[in-house]
């Protein structure tokens, strides 16, 4: 593409932290998602935190953290949040972040990924309605926006029931 800068996806570094916070606040119009990432940092494993650079500037971020599925609990990963600086949206940056993040999940032998998000966006990455696989988040009220991706064939075998995110998702940031 003539005139377009290349998107570079890389692991987040400590110097990126303030910029990631700014992007999350700007993209979501508030601090909730930025504070969630702050609460999760260093408290979870695996933890995948990637940034997107455009022209040498950090313009996007994606975060993956562990979830527990069913009883007895089985492990998987949840994608949340993904954000792109509002001035850089609609350029494929969010898609590039999601795709590279899913690859990183596979690199860590985490082939089951969940996301609570838009039905028009996440199926392009292989996500499908989780309820169709016998999986749900909190209640069936979330069925229309709760999805799962099986990154390797058969990875979802034996997974069923409620998907629980880390307790940090339910903690308040005081805002």
pLDDT digits (tens, 9 = 90+) for 161-172: 999 999 999 886
Residue with tokens 């408290």: 43
Question: What pLDDT digit, counting tens, does each position of 56-89 carry?
Answer: 999 999 999 999 999 999 999 999 999 999 999 9
Q: Are 113 and 86 in contact (CB under 8 A)?
A: no
d(CA 172, CA 120): 29
Task: Return the pLDDT at 172.
Answer: 65
- Both tokens of 65, joined, read 């953290």
Extents of the domains making up the chain: 7-167
- Both tokens of 147, joined, read 């999805």
- Both tokens of 167, joined, read 């307790």
d(CA 37, CA 47): 10
d(CA 56, CA 52): 9
Task: Return the pLDDT at 4.
Answer: 65
CATH of the domain spanning 7-167: 3.40.630.30
For the chain, give the number of residues: 175
Cα(first)–Cα(last) distance of the chain, in Å?
Answer: 42
pTM, 2 dp: 0.93
**22 pLDDT above the threshold of 80:** yes
Instruction: Average the pLDDT over 27-42 and give the result.
Output: 96
Residue with tokens 């494993």: 45
Instruction: State how beta strands 146-150 and 112-116 pair.
Output: antiparallel
Q: Are 11 and 20 in contact (CB under 8 A)?
A: no
């Amino acid at each position: 593409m003539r005139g377009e800068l290349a998107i570079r996806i890389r692991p987040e570094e400590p110097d990126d932290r303030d910029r990631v916070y700014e992007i999350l606040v700007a993209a979501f119009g508030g601090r909730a998602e930025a504070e969630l990432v702050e609460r999760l940092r260093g408290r979870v494993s695996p933890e995948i935190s990637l940034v997107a650079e455009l022209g040498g500037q950090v313009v996007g971020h994606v975060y993956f953290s562990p979830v527990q599925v069913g009883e007895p609990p089985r492990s998987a990963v949840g994608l949340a949040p993904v954000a792109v600086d509002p001035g850089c949206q609609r350029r494929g940056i969010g898609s590039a972040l999601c795709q590279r993040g899913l690859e990183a999940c596979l690199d860590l032998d985490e082939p089951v990924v969940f996301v609570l998000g838009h039905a028009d966006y996440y199926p392009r990455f292989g996500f499908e309605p989780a309820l169709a696989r016998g999986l749900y988040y909190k209640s069936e009220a979330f069925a229309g926006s709760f999805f799962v991706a099986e990154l390797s064939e058969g990875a979802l075998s034996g997974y069923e029931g409620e998907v629980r995110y880390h307790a940090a998702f339910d903690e308040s940031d005081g805002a």
